[in-house]
Amino acid sequence: MVESTVSKKIGKIVGIHGAVVDVLFPNELPDLHNAMEVLEHSERLILEVFEHLPNHTVRSLAMGNSTGLKVGMEVEDSGDVLKVPVGPELLGRIVNVFGDPVDNCGPISTKEKHPVYKPSPNFMEVNTSDTIIETGIKALDFLTPFIKGGKIGFFGGAGVGKTQLVTEIIHNTTMKHGNNSVFTGVGERTREGNELYLSLKDTGVLPNVAIVLGQMNESPAMRFRTPLTGITIAEYLRDWKKNDILLFVDNIFRFIQAGMEVSIVLGRIPSETGYQSTLASEIGEVQERIVSTPTGSITSVQAIYVPADDFSDPAIQAIFSHLDSVVVLSRKIAQQKIYPAMDPLDSSSTIDAEVLGEKHYKTRREALKLLERYRSLQNIIAILGEDELSEKEKITVQRAKKLLKFLSQPFFTAEKFTNVKGEYVPVAETVEGIDKILKGEYDDFSDEPFYMAGNIHSVEEKWKEIHK
């Protein structure tokens, strides 16, 4: 049953239009977003109030399968918004949008339940941090570092390594820093959720991760509320452990799609672009709760599908405005077997020299300058060949190739597929290695030892092995 804090109100169903259910309350109407439960249904079915209609009627959306509903069935108002169980008991478990376990590992007993709707902290409570969370992944730490309380977006299509990168970040931050994570799967396929669960279990980090799934076959209302459940659990862990929590949302674009479906079934007029008119406020409601407080932080990593690779899409633009770092995963780079398949020039970060440190900032600028020049030379190379370049440009091309290969890295979570031991590379060692490549200290080396290596010293070891 849905928990109640006030006296119950009983209503009757007067209209059913698929997932939309109209309920008549003869006396007092429930508040917007209140959770209501259908009393005579064969399965537990929660309705969420979305609109107040004339004649003492509320329009609600079924958060589940509405098959079997009949006009005249009684509905009980909980007197409050949807509440979900929170606490350390959720770590290592998979739950749905209501906080109910879906992993066949028995019930979850928690001391507290928190509402999924909470106001975001006011300006005075938000603590702006300039501390970087080290992931041990060279490309991310060097080009788009994670700042505590920040938001990072992974843009990419299927098969470019988004989930592998997410599991590696969870593994590294758990093993190195003891961080807890909350993974929120919005519109997740059963296969994706199963693969993630098994991967986390195999690498031994599952006990530090809470997983919330709103699956693709579930109602749009459930998928639409899944991020709020994930954030509610993350907020509790942040304040309880007084630590840094990582919140993974895969896929935030599917959250927007679920909102569009909700808007359509409620009969709302879409905007000119076809998306719901409430798009910006819905994204803001989720993003503005992902913040640092004086006691801890929630750092969010969000996977974002780009429809037709069109970054000018209104949904993508609405997400952009909330992100601190943008990571573009490129299919072209994935085809070269360079993982993580991150495009250094399309990826960006708002972090400045004060946060990065002088050496990191200067090395990053020099590296991007080199890669930009390499990209502009690629058309000439394609037409005339590398031999037609000047000696200076040949050196530029060779260093750029070494740098791109050095940004690849063996993952701990991919060991069983590659038989190559994973590497954790501290950011200082990454900066040192790239600085040496840019200064030409390895101009005599071939590209081969830089591929899937750890720090620069492991490159030197591989070079010695090749030339034994």
End-to-end CA distance of the chain: 71
Q: Are residues 240 and 365 in the same domain?
A: no
Q: Are 34 and 49 in contact (CB under 8 A)?
A: yes
Q: How far apart are CA 52 and CA 59, in angstroms?
A: 6
- Residue 366 annotated in active site: no
Against a cut of 0.85, is the pTM above it? yes
- Residue 460 annotated in active site: no
Residue with tokens 């600085």: 435
| pLDDT in the model for residue 3 | 47
Per-position pLDDT tens, the chain of length 468: 444 444 578 999 999 988 899 999 998 999 999 999 999 888 889 999 999 999 899 999 999 888 889 999 999 999 999 999 999 999 999 999 999 999 988 999 999 999 998 887 777 777 777 788 899 999 999 999 988 888 999 998 777 888 788 889 999 988 888 888 999 999 888 788 888 888 888 888 899 999 999 988 888 899 999 999 999 999 999 888 777 899 999 889 999 999 999 999 888 888 878 899 889 999 998 998 888 888 888 999 998 888 877 888 899 889 988 998 999 998 889 888 888 999 999 998 888 888 888 999 999 999 999 999 999 998 888 888 888 888 899 999 999 999 999 999 999 988 888 888 999 999 999 999 999 999 999 999 998 999 999 999 999 998 988 877
Q: How many domains does the chain have?
A: 3
Q: Are residues 33 and 130 in the same domain?
A: no
Instruction: Name the domain boundary from 302, 330, 351.
Output: 351
Q: Minimal CA–CA distance to 85: which of 57, 106, 115?
A: 115
Residue with tokens 């969010």: 300
Q: Are residues 55 and 136 in the same domain?
A: no
Q: How far apart are CA 48 and CA 59, in angstroms?
A: 8
- Residue 272 annotated in active site: no
Omega before 340 cis (within 30°)?
A: yes
The distance from CA 94 to its chain's CA centroid, rounded to whole angstroms, is 17
Going by their DSSP bridges, the two strands 9-17 and 74-81 should be labelled as antiparallel
Helix (H, G, I), strand (E, B) or coil at 136: coil
The CATH number for 402's domain is 1.10.1140.10
Selecting among 59, 93, 151, 162, the annotated active-site residue is 162
Selecting among 8, 70, 118, 189, the annotated active-site residue is 189
Q: Are residues 188 and 98 in the same domain?
A: yes
CA dihedral 435, 441, 446, 448 (to 10 degrees): -40
Q: Are residues 108 and 73 in the same domain?
A: no
Selecting among 134, 188, 218, 235, the annotated active-site residue is 188
Q: How far apart are CA 335 and CA 364, in angstroms?
A: 25
Instruction: Name the domain boundary from 290, 323, 351.
Output: 351
* Residue ranges making up the domain that contains 76: 9-81
Does a structural domain hold residue 2? Answer: no
Q: Using only C-alpha atoms, what is the Rg of the chain?
A: 25
Instruction: Name the domain boundary from 62, 81, 100.
Output: 81
In degrees rounded to 5, what are phi and psi of residue 9?
-115, 135
